[in-house]
Each structure stands twice: as C-alpha cells, then as structure tokens.
Structure 1
C-alpha cells in the first residue's frame, strides 16, 4: 500500500510555488521576506493575493500594492492560505471529460475552508488562517486521485451517489487506500504541523468518538474540520441528507451549541460563499437554492428512514463507520424526517410532505389501476372564531380538528394540513359512495367535537369537497385535475350552506383540465342526500 500511496502523493496536485509556501507556512524560522520572495516567482498568484488583500473580504482600509506589504498587514498565515486557495483553484480547473468532478471538488474544498475559518472565529486558540488552510486541504487527496487515477476513482464517486453511501466508505471497499490517507500523506510531505494532519485524519470519525478528542490546546481543530467536511458535503457532495444528520449531532456534541444553530451556520457559510465567489472563481450555479438543498437532504433522509441503510446488517458490503453510530443517526434521521414532514401546530402531515406523497401514491395507483380520492376539508367561519375568541382559540380549533380527522380516517389513508384552516385527505381504492361516506364521517366527527380552551367551550363545523378518478386516464395532469375538481366541490359545499359534503367523479376537458360534468353526490348536515348541485 505504501508504494501505491507514494506514487499518488508524488502527483503534481499543486504548483511548486504553492508547495513551497505550504512548507514555509508554520516554520518560525521563515520570515516574511522569504515568503514574499517565494510568491514573487509566480506573478499570477501574487496578483490574485493583492486583489484579495484589497477586497471587501479583508477591508484593511488602505491600498496594498506590494506582496511584502500584504504579508505585513494580513500576516503570514492569511497570505499563505490565500496562495493555497488560488493554487488549488488553478489545479481544479480541468477542462477535460471530468470537468464536473473537478468543479465539485473545488466547491466542496472551498466551502470546507470558509466553514473552518468561520468556526475558528469563536476559538481564540486557533488562527483563522490556519483553520481555513486545514479545511481547504482536508480533501486534497481527492484532487490527487482525480488527477492520477481517475479511471479507478470516478467510479467510486458515482457508486457512492447511486448507493446513497459516503464516498470514503466506497473508497475503503474498492481501493487500496482512501483519499483521506492521501491527504494526510501529502500534508506530511509538505511539512505541515502534526495537528493539521491529525485533524484531517479524523475528519470521518464517528461523532461519539470525536467528542472525546479534546485533550490539548490544539485538539479543537479536529472538531472544526469534521464539521466543515460535513458542511462541504451538504453544499457540494452527493450525501447531503446524511451530512445534515451529522451536522445536527456535531453541533451539540462537538461545538457544544444548540442544534438549532445548524441553520444559522449554513446560512452564514452561504453568505460567505456569495461574497467570495468571484474572487476565488466559485461557480455558484452549482449550488441549488437553500430550499432546494434542504428538500434534497430531506428526501434522502426520508429514503434512509424507510430502508435498512441505517440498520445493523451483518451482510453489509463494506466496513462502515456509519454503522458505529447507527443508533444515534437513526434517531436523528427520524427527528429530521419528522420535522420536515409534520405541521408543528397540528401534528399532522404538512403540505410539503403531502405534495411528495401524493405523487408516489398516484404512481402506485396508476400501475395497479386503482382509483385515487381526494377530500378537502375547510373549517367553516374560521375567521369569525379568531375575531371572537382570539388566535389562541383558533390554534386550539385547528389542533382539535386535525386530530379528529386523523382519528377518523382509515388506516391506509392520510391527512395533512394544506394551509390555514384547510386540510386534505388522500384516499386509495375508494368508490364514489365510499368517498362520500368517509367525508360524512369526517364532517360528523368534527361537528360533535367540543373544543375547550382557557375556560371556554365551542364547536365548529367543516365543509368537505372531494373528487375521485383513475390516474391511468390522464397520468400527466391527474394531480392537477384532482385538486381542481375537489376544490370546485368544496366551493359548492361552502356556497350551498356549509357543514356539508359534496363529492364528484373526475372528468377532463379537451385541454386536460378538469370539470364536473356529471352530477355530484352530496349530503347535508343530517347526512341525508340533497338535491344535486350543478356547476
């Protein structure tokens, strides 16, 4: 293994001047003048460092036109970290067939550097420049492997994405050494401090074990790097779901901050990325919006929660560090999945989850040629409740209505809060009469519920509109048409006196839109059939 590792480590992953700067980085005998002389041998890097020194990133308030002056004002470690950044960016600018892998690597590395720098600001014993450098170089082994053994390494990256596993686990299984081992070896060759190497070596250590690594002044660095690597994976990697789960855990156990701080950290990192994008040649087009990233992470977590990926499995293909912390991560995944799926006020599913779920249900029903029914329930005169009794009573009404609906539906149906005082119920394998009957049971259950709050007792009613159809009729427009028809039925129920149920079959216009051309089934407040209401 050592011979192969040495071969990879000899790859020219960074320009010579950058390696020289790295080697001088922590040598107390190397002065500012010597580093300035090294940098002047590369005019391109020198120019970029001066550009950075005069940018808003440092805001020195004075014009810096000489590399020696930059070193005096910014300090040796900051200027060295800038030189590394520009060198790494240059090394990552690959225009060959694997350009996307190199772009992803550079984005992930830069995110790691910015995150480490950000976290170091609250650690007086750690230099911001040092933290940025360690974060930036934590994954430099990936660059070496991308350059030197792309035919072997890129399939590992692809397999990790396909299987939903961290890249380092696939490396452990398929390659004679991991990119982390290459990173540590390179940092050793460049004569960086030992605690730099230790931090990089521990970057994928399970959180429970990492939390015990804090026995010297420098031992906080591994914590910072581990968090930074997870943030880099969230923004630019393929396993942002697992990265998010680890971040919530590390925020509490490693950084000793509330888990709610994860959102603030991610927002701060994104701001710094945007501020530095043009200076460091970062392609922000690779990033999704914050909501897109979160939705992708939650989709991955939902998948993990529904499979055995986090379960103990003696037949697991690869020795997995993830298995060592599976209990804690499984609990965290469940918590995050719940947070992303549940409406915090009513404790039923939220609109985002319903939007994901209905697509899955329609796909299954289409394959099995089963009908799909949708009921929309709206609390009657809810504004009047708020105006008369106050918003806290209104909240109590929504909670009670939600739980009543939840307790009344069938086991294979589900209810969600769609927005405001409106709830939706998705029903599989129902006929028109059955959907009307279910709607009537929901209406009766809510009407008979006494809602108590702050010494007051009130009751409310709901109006229910529904629609039923087969997804195979118009699979591409079915969801849209189902909602349109159910909403039209609800509108009729509200306008014909409220506290009633109106349900109709789904029919389509020539352009794929839905209309209700046949009579609808309805029931009044007594559950009796009422005259058909035409639309």
Structure 2
C-alpha cells in the first residue's frame, strides 16, 4: 500500500531523515551483489576500525562459536561466511550511526527495543530453521519507520509511541498521517536500496496472520519479536507476558513452555548483545528477575488455558450446562461418598412439558433459545456445589450432594415456579413453558440404594409418574415406584 501523498511529500522534503553511513552504503552494495567475495567484505570492514573490532568480537562470540579463533578481519569474515558477514556488519554499521549518542530517552528506548527484537529474531530463527542473520537485520529495522516519523514531525508524533502496542500505534499513525510506520519503514529501506526481503519485513511483520493454522514463517518471527522485546522493556506491565504468549501462539503456533524458553534464552544473551551493539539493554540481575516472573506468569496463563479447555470439554455446547459425561463421573463419585459416609444425596430428572409443540409452533431456533434460557434460570436457583447437566434433548438432571429429599423438594419447587412464570420471547412470539421433575434420594431415612444406577432409575421413574399425573409437577420416588417402570407416554409428547 503506497504512503499517503501528503505524508510522502513531507518525508521527501525532510533533510534530517535517518541515512546509512558511508560504510553501510558500501555494505548495501555488497549485499545486493550476488558475486560479492569474502575479500571485498573484509576490505570494506577493515577501512572502518570500529566496525573491524566489532566483527572480530562477534566472530569469536557464541553467536558463531567454532573451534577456530579469528585474530584479524579476514579470518573473522572467513569464519562467518559471506552472507552472515555482510549482513551482521551492516547491522552494526547502521545501529552505530543511527543511534548516535542517544539524544533523548525516546531514541534510546527505540534502539533498546529494536536490538532486543533482533535478539528474539535470531533465537526464533534457530528454533524454526530460518536464516538467523537475515532475521536479525529484519528484526532490527522492522520499526525504522517510527524513527523516520519522529524525525520528520517531532511535534506531531505521539511522545509515548514506545509505550503503545504496535497495533494501537499503527492505528494512531494512520488516523493522524494517513499511513503508518510499517509503510514508511518499507519506503525508507527501499530508498536505502536494501534487499526486498528486508524492506518487506516492515510490512509483513505488521499484518495479522489469517485465521486458522498458520505455519511458522520468517515474517511471523519478526512480528512476534517485538512482543518478546516488550517483556523486558515494559517490565512492570504483567500484561506483556500474556501478549507475547498469545502472539507466539497466533503467529508461530508456539505453546507456553516454548515461549518461556525463548524468554529465558533472551535473558541469558541480553548482556552479549548489549556489548556487541554498545547500547545499554538490561542488567543481568534484572533480566533474570524478569525472566523468572515471566516464566511464572506463562505457567499461570498456561494452567488457566488448560482449565478453560477442560471446563469447555465438560459443558454442553448449546446450553452451557454440564454434559452427560461429566454428570456420570460426578454422580458415581458422589454416590460412593454418600454410601461411605452416610450423608444424603438427591438427584432429579427435569423434563420440559410438551417441548415438541414449541419446536413445531415456533421453530427449532426458538426451541434452542428456550433451552438456553431454561438452563440459565435453573443455574440461578442452585448452589455452587450442585451439578446441573443436560442429559439429552429437552431432559436435564440435577445432582444435589448432601441434600435430603425435603430440602431438594423445596429447591425443585422453586425452580418449577420460576420457569412457569417466565415468558419466553423469540422474534414476535411469546410463550410460557412448564417442567415435570422426578426426585429420588439416597441415605435419606429408610430409602437406600445399593447401586448408583438404581438411584437414577428411581428418579427416572418418578419423572414418568409426574408426566402421567398431568405434568407441571414434581413427584418424589417412593418404595413403590423407585424400581418399577411405568407404561407412560413419551416425555416430550
């Protein structure tokens, strides 16, 4: 997408835009030349003493650790290889020139975030098998458009730009200038004649992935790198950990443990990158504390997600009530505990009267809506420890641990009255519904059952009796009906 015309004019007229130094210009020529040789790179680096020192340092660092040690630029370049040497040299040259003496806190913060993003990119590249040197440069320059906009219009640009989320910052920029730092960054890097894949990182890393499964990509690594950097930059913002966990999952399919592992590796390598780029990042002790806190938050978030998934698996998709599988497991456990300790246990089958007429008269959508509403109404009338589940169709079951028959009767009576008095609305239609319920209790006076299915059958038979006696009522299981199946009409009729 092209830059907004008025913004482009201002950028073109700006005399203080970030520009690469002479050494970087020569390195860019070498990057663009497929026939570049190691000798050409070594010559270019050797003419810049400060850069030569950097290249020796990085060649002998764990980044390119080998059994051999480089003692001069030629050996350093040879150890790193053509592509790695020229891209890394370009990174150092650009950062040294563009960061300058850190004129203000905002500029220092920008480079701290950029270098931490580059570190994250390099770690992620190793994890997914991408070129680490290309991603290092891409991560370093992905937000160069921010620097260009701050330089061109310092009085108009948000002072707290680095405090904003990247997505929020882009929205603010586009509302203000018609284009964001992603488009400006692409324009600037093309102006510098950097390779397309580096310039495109400015755009690609700001475009959200499509819905569904997205395989890890270099652009995804660059996009997520800023979120990893923010964990260290915004150390007091505990939400930064949740954001990087979500971003890493969305862009790269990473789980919480993998995200924590990248953060830990960043913390261990931050000092090394700080020394290489001569930009203060974060103290070792501080990095360790941040990583420890982040790992703890990631674990908590992971457990919360697991609980959320478990809870979802236990629920009926339509009504939100527990599903039959969950009820069956809970019922067997509660029955065993009731039998073992002698405390009462009540269970009730609840069925909607004439539910087929609701579907036939108002449509199945209205029927589904009524089921959802009924579930919510019942949920408001029971205790936290009670278990309400959809048993099938329009039939529900309610488990009341520790509650005898008389107390359960009161609860069911209240539920029946609340449902009967509620007016359901769907579209232009308004209608009322009633329920029938069958109640059975275990360890309640003389009523005791040997097997859990016997208790369920007793409640089921009591429900049939309620239907046979005219519906819209509750029937309590007795010795006479608890094990006898009545020959009654189907409940839904």
Q: Output the TM-score relative to the length of structure 2.
A: 0.52
Deviations 1:335-385 (A, max 9, x none): 949959x9xxxxxxxxxxxxxxxxxxxxxxxxxxxxxxxxxxxxxxxxxxx
Decide whether aligned partners of structure 1 residues 281 and 80 sit closer, same or farther in structure 2, where only a CA change above 3 A counts.
Answer: same
Measured in 1, the distance between the counterparts of 2:237 and 2:173 equals: 18
Out of 149, 156, 176, the residue aligned to residue 153 of structure 2 is 149
Contact 2:227–2:244 (Cα < 8 Å) also in 1? yes
Q: Distance in 2 between matches of 1:337 and 1:181?
A: 35
Q: Distance in 2 between matches of 1:189 and 1:203?
A: 19
Classify 1:249/1:260 alpha carbon distance in 2 versus 1 (closer, same or farther; 3 Å): same
Q: Does 1:182 align with 2:179?
A: no
* Count of residues in Structure 1 that have an aligned counterpart in Structure 2: 308
| Residues 91 and 198 of structure 1, relative CA distance in 2, 3 Å threshold | same
Counterpart selection for 2:80 from 60, 74, 78: 74
The correspondence of residues 464-483 of structure 1 with structure 2, limited to 5 A, is: none
Aligned to 2:206: 204
1:223-271 per-position Cα deviation (integer Å, ceiling 9, x unaligned): 1111112212332259966653443233334323323321111111111
Query: Map of 1:74-113 to 2, 5 A cutoff?
Result: 74-95=80-101, 98-113=103-118
Q: In the superposition, relative to structure 1, how do residues 188 and 242 fare at CA in structure 2: closer, same or farther (>3 Å)? A: farther
1:166 shift after superposition: 3.4
Give the match for residue 310 of structure 2. none
Query: Is the contact made by 1:8 and 1:182 (CA closer than 8 Å) also made in structure 2?
Result: no
**Is 1:15 aligned with 2:21?**
yes
Structure 1 residue 118: deviation in Å? 1.1
**Change beyond 3 A, Cα 1:94–1:208:** same
Single out whichever of 232-241 and 186-195 deviates more from structure 2.
232-241
Change (3 A) 1:63 1:17: same
- Asked if 1:116 is matched to 2:113, the reply is no
Deviations 1:378-425 (A, max 9, x none): xxxxxxxxxxxxxxxxxxxxxxxxxxxxxxxxxxxxxxxxxxxxxxxx
Q: Kindly indicate whether residue 54 of structure 2 is the aligned counterpart of residue 65 of structure 1.
A: no
Aligned mate of 2:143, from 139, 144, 156? 139
1:203/1:226 contact within 8 Å kept: yes
Kindly tell me: are residues 100 and 183 of structure 1, through their superposed partners in 2, closer, same or farther at Cα, counting changes over 3 Å?
same
TM-score between both structures, scaled by the size of structure 1:
0.49
Task: Measure how far apart 1:52 and its partner are.
Answer: 2.1
* Whole-angstrom distance in 1 between the partners of 2:28 and 2:16: 16
The yes-or-no answer on 1:247 pairing with 2:244 is yes
**CA deviation digits over 1:465-503, x for unaligned, max 9?**
xxxxxxxxxxxxxxxxxxxxxxxxxxxxxxxxxxxxxxx
Partners of 2:294 and 2:11 in 1: CA distance: 35
Instruction: Give distance in 2, aligned partners of 1:94 and 1:147.
Output: 14
Q: What whole-Å deviation, never above 9, does each CA across 1:57-111 have from its counterpart, x for those lacking one?
A: 3223333233232222101222223323322432354547x52112211111111
SS at match of 2:276: coil
- If asked which structure has higher relative contact order (CA below 8 Å, sep 6+), I would say 2
Structure 2, gaps ≥5 residues long: 308-400, 403-493
Deviation of 1:9 after TM superposition, in Å, equals 9.3
Contact 1:117 1:131 (C-alpha < 8 Å) held by counterparts: yes
In structure 2, relative to structure 1, the CA distance for the partners of 1:188 and 1:230 (3 Å cut) is: same
2:270–2:282 CA contact under 8 A, matched in 1: no
SS in 2 for 1:11: coil
Q: CA RMSD in A?
A: 4.4
Contact 1:94 1:102 in 2 (8 A): no
Which residue of the partner structure matches residue 129 of structure 1? 133
Consecutive unaligned residues in structure 1, runs of 5 or more = 300-331, 343-449, 452-535
Does the CA-based 8 Å contact 1:92-1:106 persist in structure 2?
no
The change in CA–CA distance for 1:61 and 1:290 in structure 2 (over 3 A counts) is closer
Deviations, residues 140-187 of structure 1 (Å, cap 9, x unaligned): 2223334443333352527x55x9973333222223432222221122
**CA radius of gyration, larger in:** 2
- 2:169 matched to which residue of 1? 167
SS of match in other structure, 2:119: helix
Alignment of 1:310-321 (within 5 A): none
Q: Distance in 2 between matches of 1:198 and 1:146?
A: 21
Give the distance between the partners of 2:15 and 2:296, measured in 1 at CA: 37
Q: Could you tell me whether the CA contact under 8 Å between 1:117 and 1:132 is conserved in 2?
A: yes
User: Structure 2 matches for 1:386-535, cutoff 5 A?
Assistant: none
